[in-house]
């Protein structure tokens, strides 16, 4: 999955951390189906709270756009997160007897706090592009994982997770977010993006968020 | 129109500024139909840019909520603004030969800058309730004006404006925003809101935004 | 006065608005001494409130730096504004019977609201460089005006104003702020700053703030 | 140490987490002098980066004040952090051959990211009081630890650390910050602070930051 021109360059610059994230033992367990249910539910509760703050970050992005198309895409992504993607979490947890208010009140693990607040701060410290570099590993990495597992995975109780991220709705969102990033790069760095004095710090944002994804999966495996 | 319990109290505290806004000569001209077309189009272009920044303020509100229902309502309001309400502006200006990119690039009048940036700063300086007090005069005042004109106005070339704000979609939004405000008051000030040490500064936020509305209509009359 | 390499380029791009600001009738009146006292005091009260929000903007800048030297300079500028520059306003108004709490509570003119909140929003919408482009006209323009009036003006009751901005303390601050801007440009745009896709929008930030300065002087002349 | 009226109430509400923080094994090691040097230096590097972001949080606080005295205190605290407190870190690390630019570039541990960005986000999500509740455990807890160790500790190589936080300069800062908090509470919650509907969420902010302090000391012990 390339999702545009910038994402593959950031992914390459992240080095082995990218595979540590997208081929993590937690991901393998989702695909093979042998991830313990208790780990999955622990992850899902933290991921719900993660998505609350990730939605806040997309809302923040909508405040930092310089054209109406980008604003509409950020607003649509916010909508997709809090009205669609979270449905998976709410429905699965409801089947376990947890209602949404309880989910919302979940005490955040340090890994959840570190990742979500780092992304929000990237937006407050910098411009739209700094924020997008911190948002990209989660949005597009889940797209990459979902597409791969959809193609490869056999029987698994986690098929609804795989279809949420591997399915056409989420894949289309990834393509549009990739285009948003490419446009933000073009309007700020120009054609030779890798020669920009900002390139290293953007790669660093992306790599830090990628490491925080690894920490999030690690946390998921320790219910 | 009461739209809940807090709005009428803020409106009363704003004193004569409220009528100066909601019964402004510009409003009367919309209802009677004798507002000069050139003034209307001048207003509409500035109001488009106003709505861009007002949408940013609703996105900011979504970053400042403490429960998921409020986040969903802020996201829905953002959506209503940039995907529905702006359609009136885009369609009317398109009929005059102005496309949306040109609209977006409109140079902002000082009255537009003052109002929009004051609202955004209310959110950055304070919490959700400070922001809502600055957002309320526009959202709910337009609801009040729209409902009155829909009931009272006869033939007027500005019927599409009146129906946009007086119609059931916008009125329902106002009712929901009124409930959002009442909930935010309950969770921050408690039952005796007018005895809270914050009450005066919230009324001041509301009154300042109301005065800035008057300045915005004044600007509209000077194309 | 050049105060570095970026400021002269932004000033040139602002065109005639720059002279409309720095050679405004209000400025001429300060130098010749025939500015009505009532206009000066009206300006000074609004300028005190302006400086409150301008200090907030420098504090915001301190949250957006990527190195410790820049943070220290932003903190030092914040200190210079609220502990030194405001002393002129407080002392002059005290001699007129206005204490600082009354000054702080001054109702802001629309021109004050528009300018200060525009600058703050430039920081929230963008990165440090976007904010600096909006801060530059005031900081460095006052340095330019102060230096010129100090060299040219004869007898005038506004000598303390002229010495505040023309004196070595403020001029040194301007030189350091000019260096801060040049560094921020180097680390974000690289050597060919005027070829960057961001150049036009930075010039637009600077030009908008310059126009808002003109509006602020206009307001000063209408007590 | 009480540092005003609000801090003791928040501290009591934090329960056993407060002692887990202020009587952590790392603290005991500082007092007895048997904390391994390698742990101390590891902590000091992370704490330098912590202070960079903590300074940003105090700068953010300066943007959220509603009176000039509070702004001056936030600006003075920012100055104390980046011009005084960090000197301990810079001088100690310089003696180990690490210059300040290297310190600034330290890769942040997850515990550092989680704590600092949580505090910054408390400010962006809420008002000044929400931010102060998240800032308080570090500022005032270090004051409490420093005062106790200064009174109790014997010979220890970490005497400069103890004197930095137990000495009169830092203790005076704590007293002033305690007063800032009490004033912010009075102006937002009124006299019966513990009956305010906001009380629980403010205690939760304080308790979360306290738990993140425990995590920070834990990280210090794992160089």
By the 8 A CB rule, do D209 and D134 touch? yes
How far is it, in rounded angstroms, from Cα A126 to Cα A111?
23
Helix axes B6-14, B199-220, angle to 10 degrees: 70
Mean pLDDT for B94-101 is 92
**What local confidence, expressed as pLDDT, does residue B133 receive?**
98
- D78: distance to nearest CA of chain B, Å? 18
Which residues in D lie closer than 8 A to residue C117 (C-beta atoms)? none
Q: Is the Cβ pair A59, B74 closer than 8 Å?
A: yes
How far is it, in rounded angstroms, from Cα C93 to Cα C41?
7
Instruction: Give residue-wise pLDDT tens across range C3-57.
Output: 999 999 999 999 999 999 999 999 999 999 999 999 999 999 999 999 999 999 9
By the 8 A CB rule, do D172 and D140 touch? no
The token duo for D46 is 């992370």
Place D153 in a pLDDT band, splitting at 50, 70 and 90.
confident
Q: Is the Cβ pair D75, C75 closer than 8 Å?
A: yes
Instruction: Give residue-wise pLDDT tens across range D17-64.
Output: 999 999 999 999 999 999 999 999 999 999 999 999 999 999 999 999
Mean pLDDT for D72-84 is 93
- C54: distance to nearest CA of chain B, Å? 13
Note whether C198 contacts A: Cβ–Cβ < 8 A. Answer: yes
Mean pLDDT for D207-222 is 98
- C29: distance to nearest CA of chain D, Å? 30
Instruction: Give residue-wise pLDDT tens across range C47-105.
Output: 999 999 999 999 999 999 999 999 999 999 999 999 888 988 999 999 999 999 999 99
Judged by average pLDDT, the poorest of C143-152, D81-90, D198-207 is: D81-90
- D185: distance to nearest CA of chain A, Å? 25
Q: In D33-107, which residue ranges form alpha helices assigned H by DSSP?
A: 37-62, 68-79, 86-95, 100-104
Burial class (CB in 10 A: 0-12, 13-18, 19+), A152: exposed
Instruction: Give residue-wise pLDDT tens across range B152-192.
Output: 988 999 999 999 999 999 999 999 999 999 999 999 999 99
Q: Is the Cβ pair D78, C59 closer than 8 Å?
A: yes
Instruction: Give residue-wise pLDDT tens across range A129-143.
Output: 999 999 999 999 999
Please, what are the domains in chain B?
A: 6-220 (1.20.910.10)
Mean pLDDT for D104-126 is 97
Interface test with B, best of A49, A59, A90, A187 (most B CBs within 10 A): A59
Interface test with A, best of D49, D108, D110, D212 (most A CBs within 10 A): D110
Which residues in D lie closer than 8 A to residue A110 (C-beta atoms)? 110-111, 114, 212, 215
How far is it, in rounded angstroms, from Cα C212 to Cα C110?
11
Average model confidence (pLDDT) for chain B? Answer: 96
Place C208 in a pLDDT band, splitting at 50, 70 and 90.
very high
pTM score: 0.98
Cβ-count burial C36-45 (b if 16+ within 10 Å, e if not): eeebbbbbbb
SS3 (DSSP) at A191: coil
Note whether D118 contacts A: Cβ–Cβ < 8 A. Answer: yes
Interface test with C, best of A188, A191, A199, A205 (most C CBs within 10 A): A188
- D209: distance to nearest CA of chain A, Å? 11
Number of H helices, E strands in chain B: 12, 0
CA A68 to chain centre: 23
Q: In D153-191, which residue ranges form alpha helices assigned H by DSSP?
A: 159-166, 168-188
Note whether A190 contacts C: Cβ–Cβ < 8 A. Answer: yes
**What local confidence, expressed as pLDDT, does residue B84 receive?**
85
Instruction: Give residue-wise pLDDT tens across range A84-109.
Output: 889 889 999 999 999 999 999 999 99
Note whether D173 contacts C: Cβ–Cβ < 8 A. Answer: no
Place D83 in a pLDDT band, splitting at 50, 70 and 90.
confident
Which residues in D lie closer than 8 A to residue B195 (C-beta atoms)? 190
Note whether C59 contacts B: Cβ–Cβ < 8 A. Answer: no
Residue with tokens 């990033």: A181
């Amino acid at each position: 999955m390339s999702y545009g021109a910038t994402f593959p360059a950031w992914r390459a610059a992240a080095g082995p951390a990218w595979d540590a994230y997208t081929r993590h033992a937690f991901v393998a367990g989702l695909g093979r189906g042998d991830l313990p249910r208790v780990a999955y539910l622990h992850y899902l509760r933290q991921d719900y709270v993660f998505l609350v703050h990730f939605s806040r970050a997309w809302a923040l992005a909508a405040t930092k756009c310089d054209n109406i198309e980008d604003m509409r895409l950020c607003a649509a992504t916010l909508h997709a997160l809090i009205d669609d993607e979270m449905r998976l979490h709410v429905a699965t947890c409801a089947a376990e007897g947890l209602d949404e208010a309880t989910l919302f009140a979940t005490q955040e693990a340090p890994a959840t706090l570190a990742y979500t607040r780092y992304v929000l701060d990237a937006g407050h410290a910098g411009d739209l592009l700094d924020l997008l570099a911190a948002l990209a590993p989660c949005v597009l990495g889940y797209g990459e994982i979902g597409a791969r597992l959809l193609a490869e995975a056999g029987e698994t109780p986690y098929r609804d997770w795989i279809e949420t991220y591997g399915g056409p709705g989420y894949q289309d969102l990834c393509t549009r977010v990739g285009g948003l990033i490419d446009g933000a790069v073009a309007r700020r760095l120009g054609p030779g993006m890798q020669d920009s004095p900002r390139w290293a710090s953007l790669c660093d944002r992306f790599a830090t968020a990628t490491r925080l994804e690894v920490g999030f999966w690690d946390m998921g495996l320790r219910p």
